Amino acid sequence: MTTKKPGTTVSLTLLVDAPAGIVWKALVDPKLVGQYMLATPCCAIERGKEIKWFARKEDGGALLAKGMILAVQPSERLRFTTYAPSSKLPDEPASHTTVDVHLVPETEKRTRVELWQGDFAGLPQDVRRAREAGRQWVEQLVGLKRVAEEIDRAMAA
């Protein structure tokens, strides 16, 4: 039996006042993602496909991260690996972490977004890397909430 080192994973939950289908669209549509992330994903969101995130064109368009899509359940779950070339770690499976995003309908118009990323254990400066990833995800989830709620309000008007 192995025990996980404390502080080497990210676990966040956020309530969004929008249906899961709208939150999903804001999570996977590159044009919408670009409104709240510093990176825009390319590629189709399909299980087994590679995904890459590029800086916005006005920021140089450089590759910021890449990974492999592990699971896609529209309006429910997106799971992928991620690796940032800027980490200076070798681009090998041991340097990649996994991100798992679950969308859980609370009511017809409210969705609980549960995000988990890990495990950073075994990577150099694992706790620092997890803490940094957590800070980035807080900002991105707040942006996801803003975009999804704006879309929902526009559709209701």
pLDDT (mean) for 5-20: 91
pLDDT band at 2 (very low <50, low <70, confident <90, very high): very low
Provide Rg for the chain, Cα atoms.
16
pLDDT (mean) for 114-133: 93
Q: Does a structural domain hold residue 108? A: yes
* C-alpha 139 chain-centroid distance: 11
d(CA 146, CA 105): 17
Q: Give the model confidence (pLDDT) of 74-119 as tens digits.
A: 999 999 999 999 888 999 999 999 999 999 999 999 999 999 999 8
Q: How many domains does the chain have?
A: 1
pLDDT (mean) for 61-85: 94
Please give the pLDDT value at position 1. Answer: 38
The CATH number of whichever domain residue 139 belongs to comes to 3.30.530.20
- How far CA 87 is from CA of 81, 95, 125, in Å, comes to 15, 9, 11
Q: Give the model confidence (pLDDT) of 21-41 as tens digits.
A: 999 999 999 999 989 988 888
Please give the pLDDT value at position 9. Answer: 94
Q: Does a structural domain hold residue 97? A: yes
Please give the pLDDT value at position 107. Answer: 93
Q: Does a structural domain hold residue 24? A: yes
Q: Which residue, among 92, 121, 115, has the nearest Cα to 2 in the 3D structure? A: 121
Q: Which domain holds residue 151?
A: 10-37+72-156
Give the dihedral sign, CA 17/103/4/133: negative
Q: Does a structural domain hold residue 130? A: yes
Q: Does a structural domain hold residue 4? A: no
Q: Does a structural domain hold residue 54? A: no
d(CA 149, CA 110): 10
Number of H-type helices and E-type strands within the chain:
3, 7
* Residue 127 predicted with pLDDT over 70: yes
49 backbone dihedrals φ, ψ, rounded to 5°: -95, 150
Q: Does a structural domain hold residue 45? A: no
Residue for token digits 């496909």? 49
* Residue 142 predicted with pLDDT over 60: yes
Q: Does a structural domain hold residue 134? A: yes
